[in-house]
């Protein structure tokens, strides 16, 4: 009896809170005026430049290891 009453009260509270809650499909804030002022082209170029430098270092390291392994094997 007491358990069913608690369940009933919890259901009524859930119904009451759902009627006064925020709409589910509310639109978010419009930040296009802030994001349109930022140019990501230069940032992307800088990140790709750093990534290319890292790849060149990795390839040089790997090539040096292969040369050393070839010299040792001979």
pLDDT tens digits along 48-57: 999 999 999 9
- pLDDT by residue (tens digit) across 24-68? 666 777 888 877 877 778 888 999 999 999 999 999 999 999 999
pTM: 0.45
Give the confidence band of 5 by pLDDT, cuts at 50, 70, 90.
Answer: confident
Q: Classify residue 14: in a domain, yes or no.
A: no
Give me the domain span that covers residue 52.
Answer: 45-74
Q: Give mean pLDDT, residues 66-71.
A: 93
Q: Classify residue 65: in a domain, yes or no.
A: yes
End-to-end CA distance of the chain: 89
- Give the position of tokens 């990501």: 40
CA distance 63 to 59: 6
CA distance 34 to 42: 17
Q: Classify residue 9: in a domain, yes or no.
A: no
Tally of domains in the chain:
1
Looking at per-residue pLDDT, the higher value among 23 and 45 belongs to 45
Q: Classify residue 33: in a domain, yes or no.
A: no
Q: Classify residue 2: in a domain, yes or no.
A: no
Q: Classify residue 16: in a domain, yes or no.
A: no
């Amino acid at each position: 009896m007491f358990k069913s009453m608690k369940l009933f009260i919890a259901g009524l509270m859930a119904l009451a809170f759902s009627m006064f809650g925020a709409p589910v499909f509310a639109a978010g804030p419009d930040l296009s005026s802030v994001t349109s002022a930022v140019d990501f082209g230069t940032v992307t170029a800088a990140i790709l430049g750093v990534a290319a430098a890292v790849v060149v270092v990795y390839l040089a390291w790997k090539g040096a290891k292969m040369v050393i392994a070839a010299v040792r094997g001979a």
